[in-house]
Amino acid sequence: MTAEELIAWQHELAAGRPPPIGRVPAAIGGCFVCFPRGAVGPGARGDPGWAAAAVVREGRVIAVAGASAEAGAPYVPGLLALREGPLLEAAVHALDVAPGVLLVNATGRDHPRRAGLATSLGAALDLPTVGITHRPLLAEGGWPAPERGATSPLRIGDEIVACWLRVRARARPLAVHPGWRTDLDTAVAVVRAATARVRTPAPLREARRLARLARARSSPESSHGPT
């Protein structure tokens, strides 16, 4: 897919808005991709990448998988699917157990064309998705109350595209993004169901750990611990 083709598809995805699942599945997945540490610049085509996916049910990891390949594109804001999408797709396809919903380290409608990587990956995989980021991309909004579970909207203009969610009392909130076939209420419910004692939801945390472990094993000279 070229950049022009992806942009056209993003507009199509943003306009489509299929019905959301409306419930929290028992099996919640997460996927994560990482690239070499210490590289100069934002990222180039051909960079080695390591992706992993995990599925958690009732607090227990029931499936994991990984994939590695060269990045198909440089890092370009708004076009992250070209760089990371194929790697994440390969890792999720390799799972022995398909998740009912997938957590992605990316945005959904908080995007110039209202279809970030969390949305396009879900459409490509035909899986409901929820994006999780540490900060919004374009949206703005004040932090929620300090209590665990508190939320506050993130807006682009008058449109609510995501929300802050306080997963731990007084800890920095996460930005929660409805992706493919999820609305904001369902996205928040999924993140709450997947989060226990630590800030990052369990499936995404396990996928991140495995991707970074694969990177460390493949390139020990560039990895000196977690980032």
More reliable by pLDDT, 226 or 117:
117
The per-residue pLDDT for range 68-90, each reduced to its tens digit, is 999 999 999 999 999 999 999 99
Q: Note whether 206 and 61 are within 8 A (CB).
A: yes
User: In whole angstroms, what is the distance from residue 149 CA to residue 165 CA?
Assistant: 6
Q: Report helix, strand or coil for 60.
A: strand
pLDDT tens for each residue of 201-215: 999 999 999 999 999
pLDDT value at 227 more than 50: no
Please name which of 68, 140, 53, 59 lies closest in space to residue 104, comparing C-alpha atoms: 53
Q: Which helix (H) or strand (E) holds 160?
A: strand 159-165
- pLDDT, one tens digit per residue, over 106-165 is 999 999 999 999 999 999 999 999 999 999 999 999 999 999 999 999 999 999 999 999
Catalogue all structural domains in the chain, each as residue range(s) with its CATH number. 25-221 (3.30.2170.10)
In degrees to the nearest 10, what's the CA dihedral of 177, 181, 183, 189?
-80
Under 8 Å between Cβ of 185 and 149: no
> CA-based angle 226:147:140, to the nearest 5?
70
How far is 184 from 105, CA to CA, in rounded Å? Answer: 16
Distance of CA 129 to the CA centre of its chain: 8
**Residue that is written with structure tokens 């990482």 in the block:** 34
Burial 168-203 (b: 16+ CB within 10 A, else e): beeeebbbbbbbbbbebebbbbbbbbbbeeeebbbb
3-state helix, strand, coil in the chain (%, to 5): 30, 25, 45
Angle at 67 (CA atoms; ends 65, 69), nearest 5 degrees: 175
The model's confidence at residue 223, banded by pLDDT at 50, 70 and 90, is: very low
Q: How many percent of the chain have pLDDT more than 70? A: 95
Residue 58 has pLDDT above 80, yes or no: yes
Q: What pLDDT sits at residue 225?
A: 38
Prediction pTM value: 0.94
Residue 16's SS3 state is helix
